[in-house]
């Protein structure tokens, strides 16, 4: 070995046995060779005389890189030498036949060496064919007589040419597309007929002796069928040969599959649809139908399945595109012939995703709409589709226990099935729209079959039938469900009255309840079904099911059902409450640690349902009070007991007790949702008194557990609820509640506190003036000590949880200030205790109005200034309520926000939100002129327009527009002024704005 070979071998060494310094030196040496002008000659020389695969690979890789990057810079002699050398290597020749040590690179070379050589060959084709190297393919063909080694190389070259240049499966640059077109045109004109003849001869010659070689040839041929003359393949020689290869008994599955791939390429080739139809008709595709019944895991079955599906897709496309009735009839016959095999494939085979049978069937169903009413054959196909859908959506019984217990395996299987079913249910709904009677009858028969079965082994069948009925509901209008169109008037009552033998199974129970809920609008119109629905939800099929996952979901669905049925349930309230007594007791008992109501779908849904029931005005007043008291009293007692004993709790007990209190608050909160403000404050104040007493009890939680954030959040949520429920009668409780919430609040809690105040202000406006005025100084002091006056930092390490919480707090603060200003409460800012924070607030608002990254925040800040100007400044000749406010607005807000911020290049007029902000900025100028008069106008023009070198005529027009009453014209003109100044500054190279 010489130094070059040694260096290459060392550079490829990965065992760790080579010293790192030596390896680095070897890599550097190899790189130097790549950069020498004679790199190509060195590589070709090594390829001629060295049979070490590492050296061969490195040389081919280097050749490829040099040709790809530097080929245009090489001399004509160098290019000619490279072409001849690479061509000789690919044709199994030695370059230097005078040297006894010369080697043939293809002799015993591994596949990756041959593929790399093919890549180098194709790169030369890219640059030189057909203008310079015009006869490359014609010259190659005679060498194929040398046998399998050259034929194999030729296939690799054709495959590489397709991968690197021709195939549209990969993204191509416009330049590559142009070269591809040039190469294809030349091949078509010059030699494609000869290549096709060679393919035929090779396959015919080697079909019994070298099956792998034949498969390689056919795989290469498949790639080219899409763009060559189809008559070269579809003829009396090639098509019979391909079918012979497919149908040969006991043959090579690889060869059979390759032949099937070629037929699929013929079928899928783009062409005139009348011509395509003739080809499809003459193929006699039914000859391969029997092959899909073999081993479903075999490659052959997969290939034939893809062929059948592709054939069906093209037959349907022909039906849609041909114009004559005769042609449509032929297409329909072909579809009728192939569809049974498509259904078999769908049910039994794994098909390549390229040919999605479900999508094809959806297209088929949509196309068959034109045959309304459907003919007998199409109705038969629709029925088979439903059978296949029903079979496909069934779970494998092997996972039954996993799914019922919902362990890790069960969860994964359920997630997979949910995803798998999506397209199938889309198909089902399409079928239901085209053939509603057939679909409903199929589902009815499926359901009746499940009901009549006494076996518990049909879990998957029952679940699938119920799922079909559920999915059917998504294709029906509310009106169709209400009236019970078709068989629904039979199906829904049958459903809600049924107790399946396998109802204990989690999946069956869940889909059963979901399906009832889906069709609840039918029950609304057919009140005779109400008792059966209640029974289904309240017995062991629902809320009393042995599986807690089912109980939890049943509680939520029952709440939804109650919302919809509501008044129709009044006669059943007593029996409902009695049925739920054990559930309520379980939830309200001390030391409740069950996981029945853990997670998002917790026991509060039961209380919300009860609240919706007993909160109706149709319920007699006395009864309503009794119902509510029987629920609130034990819940409040539980909280009081826990609060009294809070100090005596051990560290082990505290988390459990706190969780108990959280659950109680959620229950009471949910219960209150059923009671309207009018009912509890006007028509039945005794109900309001109960909720006030409850609120008083729950507020004690903030005193006893001032730093337990989950409890504070739950109490805050309940206060929100009571503001809506109790209305103004909640006022006496607010000072205590707000004081406790404000005392220990962290940034995240402070944001929630501001949201509560926003609710109070939006609901009661100036009625809460004293409350807001009382808490505002503490809020301002707390927030201004937390958030920075400058913009938040950007870049690495600035997206921490703490920063995000402060950003959220600042955003909520802007909303809070906006709500105060726009609800006639701006005097709050001027109270003696609040004035200390006025300057900080103004500076923050001005900074944000000019520069905040969120345009909507900037708009809110501008609107706040507009409102403050209106509130605090009366007339031009009267001093503002706040000394210095007028000069701050004119010198600060008007100049920086209304002028310079709009000049900044980040102010994008093409953005809709920015245009809205700009409208507010223009409105602010109008308001400032009305409140400050000509003094504002002179100051604004002098300090802004003149400073920015705006033409005098534009400034004069601006004054005129501002003094007028056409806001739309003012906004349009001011935008043109800003754009004019921007353009001037850009031309002058002055892009820096204040």
Q: What's the pLDDT tens digit per position in 359-372?
A: 999 999 999 888 77
Indicate the Cα dihedral angle 928, 932, 934, 940, nearest 10°.
-50
Q: What is the pLDDT of residue 356?
A: 78
Q: What pLDDT digit, counting tens, does each position of 98-110 carry?
A: 655 667 888 888 9
- What is the value of pTM for the model shown? 0.81
Helix axes 769-784, 838-851, angle to 10 degrees: 70
Q: What is the pLDDT of residue 857?
A: 94
Q: Looking at beta carbons, which pairs linking 815-821 to residues 24 or more positions away fall under 8 Å?
A: 815/754, 815/758, 815/860, 816/754, 816/757, 816/758, 816/779, 817/841, 817/845, 817/864, 818/860, 818/863, 818/864, 819/757, 819/758, 819/761, 819/762, 820/761, 820/772, 821/863, 821/864, 821/867, 821/868, 821/871
Q: What is the mean pLDDT of the chain?
A: 90
Burial class (CB in 10 A: 0-12, 13-18, 19+), 452: exposed
23-35 mean pLDDT: 91
Q: Residue 650 pLDDT > 90, yes or no?
A: no
224-253 mean pLDDT: 93
Q: What is the pLDDT of residue 797?
A: 56
Q: Residue 674 pLDDT > 60, yes or no?
A: yes
Q: What pLDDT digit, counting tens, does each position of 880-927 carry?
A: 678 889 999 999 999 999 999 999 888 999 999 999 999 999 999 999
Q: What is the pLDDT of residue 348?
A: 84
Q: Residue 275 pLDDT > 70, yes or no?
A: yes
pLDDT band at 786 (very low <50, low <70, confident <90, very high): confident
Q: What is the pLDDT of residue 994?
A: 38
| Of the listed ranges 18-22, 152-156, 437-441, 624-628, the one predicted with least confidence | 18-22
800-814 mean pLDDT: 88
d(C-alpha 138, C-alpha 150), whole Å: 14
Query: Which residues, 6+ apart, have CB-to-CB distance to 440 below 8 Å?
Result: 432, 472, 486, 487, 488, 491
Q: What pLDDT digit, counting tens, does each position of 292-331 carry?
A: 887 777 888 889 999 999 999 999 999 999 999 999 999 9
Q: What is the pLDDT of residue 595?
A: 47
d(C-alpha 512, C-alpha 500), whole Å: 10
pLDDT band at 597 (very low <50, low <70, confident <90, very high): very low
Q: What is the pLDDT of residue 598?
A: 46
pLDDT band at 67 (very low <50, low <70, confident <90, very high): very high
Q: What pLDDT digit, counting tens, does each position of 373-408 carry?
A: 888 999 999 999 999 999 999 999 999 999 999 999
Q: What is the pLDDT of residue 905?
A: 83
45-63 mean pLDDT: 92
| Of the listed ranges 56-65, 325-334, 440-449, 875-884, the one predicted with least confidence | 875-884
SS3 content of the chain, % helix, strand, coil (to 5): 75, 0, 25
776-796 mean pLDDT: 79
Q: What pLDDT digit, counting tens, does each position of 746-766 carry?
A: 788 899 999 999 999 999 999
In terms of phi and psi (left: phi > 0; alpha: psi -120 to 50; beta: otherwise), the region of 250 is left
Q: What is the pLDDT of residue 600?
A: 38
149-164 mean pLDDT: 96
d(C-alpha 892, C-alpha 862), whole Å: 12
Q: What pLDDT digit, counting tens, does each position of 808-835 carry?
A: 999 999 999 999 999 999 999 999 999 9
pLDDT band at 617 (very low <50, low <70, confident <90, very high): very high
Q: What is the pLDDT of residue 251?
A: 75
């Amino acid at each position: 070995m010489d130094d070059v070979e040694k260096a290459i071998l060392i550079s490829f060494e990965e065992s760790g046995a080579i010293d790192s310094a030596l390896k680095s030196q070897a890599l550097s040496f190899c790189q130097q060779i790549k950069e020498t002008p004679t790199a190509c000659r060195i590589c070709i020389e090594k390829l001629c005389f060295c049979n070490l695969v590492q050296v061969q690979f490195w040389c081919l890789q280097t050749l490829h890189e040099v040709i790809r990057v530097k080929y245009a810079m090489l001399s004509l002699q160098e290019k000619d030498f490279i072409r001849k050398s690479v061509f000789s290597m690919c044709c199994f020749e030695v370059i230097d036949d005078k040297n006894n040590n010369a080697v043939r690179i293809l002799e015993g070379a591994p596949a990756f060496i041959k593929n790399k050589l093919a890549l180098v060959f194709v790169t030369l084709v890219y640059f030189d064919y057909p203008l310079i190297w015009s006869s490359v393919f014609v010259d190659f063909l005679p060498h194929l007589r040398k046998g399998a080694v050259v034929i194999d190389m030729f296939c690799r070259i054709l495959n590489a040419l397709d991968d690197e240049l021709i195939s549209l499966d990969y993204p191509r640059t416009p330049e590559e597309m142009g070269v591809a077109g040039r190469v294809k045109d030349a091949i078509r004109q010059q030699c494609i007929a000869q290549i096709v003849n060679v393919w035929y001869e090779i396959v015919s010659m080697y079909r019994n002796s070298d099956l792998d070689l034949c498969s390689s040839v056919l795989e290469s041929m498949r790639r080219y069928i899409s763009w060559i003359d189809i008559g070269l393949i579809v003829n009396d020689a090639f098509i019979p040969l391909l079918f012979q290869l497919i149908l040969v008994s006991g043959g090579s599955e690889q060869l059979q599959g390759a032949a099937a791939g070629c037929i699929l390429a013929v079928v899928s080739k783009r062409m005139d649809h009348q011509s395509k139809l003739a080809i499809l008709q003459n193929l006699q595709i039914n000859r391969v139908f029997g092959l899909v019944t073999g081993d479903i895991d075999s490659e052959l079955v997969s290939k034939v399945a893809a062929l059948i599906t592709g054939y069906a897709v093209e037959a349907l496309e022909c039906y849609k595109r041909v114009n004559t009735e005769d042609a449509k009839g032929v297409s329909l016959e072909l579809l009728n012939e192939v569809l049974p095999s498509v259904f078999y494939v769908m049910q039994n085979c794994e098909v390549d995703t390229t040919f999605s049978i479900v999508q094809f069937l959806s297209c088929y169903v949509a196309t068959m709409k034109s045959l309304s009413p459907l003919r007998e054959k199409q109705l038969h196909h629709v029925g088979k589709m439903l059978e296949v859908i029903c079979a496909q959506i069934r779970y494998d019984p092997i996972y039954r226990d996993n799914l019922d217990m919902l362990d890790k395996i069960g969860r994964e299987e359920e997630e997979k099935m949910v995803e798998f079913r999506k397209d199938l249910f889309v198909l089902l709904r399409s079928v239901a729209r085209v053939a509603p009677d057939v679909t409903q009858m199929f589902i009815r028969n499926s359901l009746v079959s499940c009901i009549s079965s006494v076996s518990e082994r049909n879990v998957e069948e029952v679940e699938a039938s119920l799922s079909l009925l559920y999915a059917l509901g998504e294709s029906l209008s509310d009106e169709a469900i209400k009236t019970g169109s078709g068989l629904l008037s039979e199906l829904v009552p049958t459903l809600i009255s049924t107790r399946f033998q396998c109802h204990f199974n989690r999946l069956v129970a869940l889909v059963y309840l979901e399906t009832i809920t889906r069709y609840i609008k039918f029950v609304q119109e057919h009140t005779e079904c109400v008792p059966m629905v209640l029974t289904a939800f309240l017995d062991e099929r629902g809320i009393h099911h042995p599986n807690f996952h089912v109980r939890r979901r049943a509680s939520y669905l029952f709440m939804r059902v109650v919302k919809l049925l509501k008044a129709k349930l009044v006669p059943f309230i007593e029996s409902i409450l009695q049925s739920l007594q054990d559930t309520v007791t379980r939830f309200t008992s001390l030391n409740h640690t069950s996981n029945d109501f853990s997670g998002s779908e917790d026991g509060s849904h039961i209380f919300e349902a009860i609240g919706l029931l007993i909160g109706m005005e149709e319920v007699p007043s006395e009864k309503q009070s009794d119902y509510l008291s029987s629920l609130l009293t034990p819940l409040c007692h539980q909280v009081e007991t826990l609060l009294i004993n809070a100090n005596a709790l051990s560290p082990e007990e505290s988390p459990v007790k706190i969780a108990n209190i959280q659950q109680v608050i959620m229950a009471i909160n949910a219960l209150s949702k059923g009671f309207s403000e009018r009912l509890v404050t006007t028509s039945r104040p005794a109900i309001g008194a109960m909720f006030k007493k409850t609120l008083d009890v729950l507020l004690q939680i903030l005193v006893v557990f001032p730093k337990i954030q989950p409890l504070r959040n739950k109490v805050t949520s309940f206060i929100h609820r009571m503001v809506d429920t109790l209305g103004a009668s909640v006022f006496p409780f607010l000072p205590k509640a707000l004081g406790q919430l404000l005392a220990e609040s962290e940034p995240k809690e402070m944001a929630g506190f501001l949201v509560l105040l926003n609710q109070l202000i939006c609901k009661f406006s100036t009625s809460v003036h004293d409350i807001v005025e009382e808490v505002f100084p503490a809020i301002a002091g707390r927030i201004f000590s937390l958030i920075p006056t400058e913009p938040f930092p950007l870049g690495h390490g600035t997206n921490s949880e703490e920063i995000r919480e402060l950003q959220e707090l600042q955003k909520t603060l802007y909303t809070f200030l906006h709500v105060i200003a726009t609800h006639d409460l701006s005097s709050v800012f001027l109270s003696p205790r609040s004035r200390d924070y006025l300057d900080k607030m103004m500076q923050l608002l001005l900074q944000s109005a000019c520069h905040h990254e969120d345009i909507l925040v900037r708009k809110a800040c501008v609107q706040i200034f507009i409102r403050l100007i209106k509130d605090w400044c009366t007339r031009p000749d009267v001093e503002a309520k706040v000394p210095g406010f007028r000069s701050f607005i004119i010198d600060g807000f008007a100049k920086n926000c209304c002028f310079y911020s709009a000049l900044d290049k980040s102010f994008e007029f093409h953005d809709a939100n920015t245009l809205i902000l700009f409208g507010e900025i223009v409105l602010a100028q109008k308001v400032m002129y009305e409140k400050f008069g000509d003094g504002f106008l002179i100051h604004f023009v002098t300090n802004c327009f003149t400073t920015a070198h705006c033409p005098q005529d534009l400034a004069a027009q601006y004054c005129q527009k501002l003094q007028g009453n056409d806001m739309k014209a003012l906004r349009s003109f001011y935008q043109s002024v800003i754009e004019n100044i921007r353009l001037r500054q850009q031309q002058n190279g002055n892009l820096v704005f204040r």
